[in-house]
């Protein structure tokens, strides 16, 4: 109790092992021209997973070709994702009973795990006015006495900090640091927090451990994680431990 193992999978991918439950978040497993970090294992080799979580419907977060494989190879797994993507997820062959569509401010529990949702602003805080659904989500994952904040792809928006704080102390936090600019926006790369903005969010949340993400996968849409670590240290000192992750290196929480 109180111990969870994390394994970074590149980009915003995270494998969480609670001892009783294995959770895979935002794993980008498919080959793609231009990707710099290869998948640590092929999609068809990933079995024994209890929950697959996707933050939004971009290939490096919800990898539909991989989800089709996982629906067959992990038949009992729950798939958790923004409800606005329900049709595309069901088209992957995931059974309706295993497709858990969620929206801002909701919770879902299974076994020793509870998932809470917070709307994400992937450069824009999009919301469908007719349905009230958000296409991008962040997750607070509570498991085995540990609380993890997976921010998905987001910039900071008014009220986001108070939503995160409402869940209590955060043990580990994975934040995107790749930023945003006009060049990338014109190329249809919508943006996230800069490394400074991400460090300031961590500084205010005060997790025990913070992990920078979304810096390694694509040359035009990356960042140097050491800049994040240096800025966090300069501004907030040693009260927050920063881990620049290596793919599949064990990070123990607790």
Q: What is the pLDDT of residues 178-214, one digit of tens each?
A: 999 999 999 999 999 999 999 999 999 999 999 999 9
According to the model, what pLDDT value does residue 5 have? 98
Decide: 91 and 58 in contact? Cβ < 8 Å.
no
C-beta of residue 167 within 8 angstroms of C-beta of residue 118: no
Looking at residue 238, what is its pLDDT?
Answer: 86
Give the number of other Cβ atoms within 10 Å of residue 232's Cβ.
24
Secondary structure letter of residue 35 according to DSSP: B
pLDDT of residue 55: 98
Q: How many domains does the chain have?
A: 1
- Which DSSP helix (H) or strand (E) runs through 212? strand 209-213
| Per-residue CA distances from 240 to 87, 164, 173, 243 (Å) | 40, 17, 11, 10
User: pLDDT, tens digit, for every residue of 199-209?
Assistant: 999 999 999 99
Range of the domain at 143: 4-253
Task: Tally helices (H) and strands (E) across the chain.
Answer: 6, 14
Residue 247's CB is within 10 A of a number of other CB atoms, namely 14
pLDDT band at 254 (very low <50, low <70, confident <90, very high): confident
Closest CA to 94 of 142, 124, 62: 62
Mean pLDDT (whole number) for 124-151? 96
Please name the residues in contact with 207: beta carbons below 8 A apart, sequence gap of 6 or more. Answer: 149, 169, 170, 171, 172, 173, 240
Rg, C-alpha atoms of the chain: 17
How far apart CA 193 and CA 179 sit, in angstroms, is 5
Confidence (pTM): 0.97
Mean pLDDT of 9-27: 97
**CATH number of the domain that residue 179 is part of:** 3.60.15.10
Per-residue confidence at 1, pLDDT binned at 50, 70, 90?
A: confident
């Amino acid at each position: 109790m109180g111990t969870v193992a994390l394994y970074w999978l590149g980009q915003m991918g995270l494998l969480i092992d609670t001892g009783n439950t294995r959770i895979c978040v935002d794993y980008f497993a498919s080959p793609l021209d231009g990707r710099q970090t290869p998948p640590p294992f092929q999609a068809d080799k990933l079995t024994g997973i209890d929950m697959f979580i996707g933050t939004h419907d971009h290939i490096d977060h919800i990898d539909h070709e991989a989800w089709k494989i996982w629906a067959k190879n992990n038949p009992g797994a729950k798939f958790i994702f923004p409800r606005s993507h329900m049709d595309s997820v069901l088209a992957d062959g995931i059974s309706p009973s295993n497709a858990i569509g969620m929206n801002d401010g909701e919770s879902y529990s299974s076994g020793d795990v509870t998932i809470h949702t917070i709307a994400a602003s992937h450069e824009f805080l999009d919301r469908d006015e007719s349905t009230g659904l958000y296409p991008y989500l962040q997750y607070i994952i509570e498991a085995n006495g540990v609380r993890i904040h997976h921010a998905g792809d987001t910039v900071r928006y008014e009220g986001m900090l108070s939503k995160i704080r409402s869940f209590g102390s955060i043990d580990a936090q994975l934040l995107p640091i790749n930023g945003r600019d006009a060049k990338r926006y014109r190329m249809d790369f919508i943006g996230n927090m800069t490394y400074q903005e991400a460090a300031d969010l961590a500084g205010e949340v005060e997790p025990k451990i913070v992990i920078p993400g979304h810096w390694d996968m694509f040359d035009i849409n990356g960042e140097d994680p050491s800049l994040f670590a240096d800025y966090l240290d300069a501004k907030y000192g040693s009260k927050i431990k920063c881990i620049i992750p290596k793919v599949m290196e064990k990070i123990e929480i607790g």
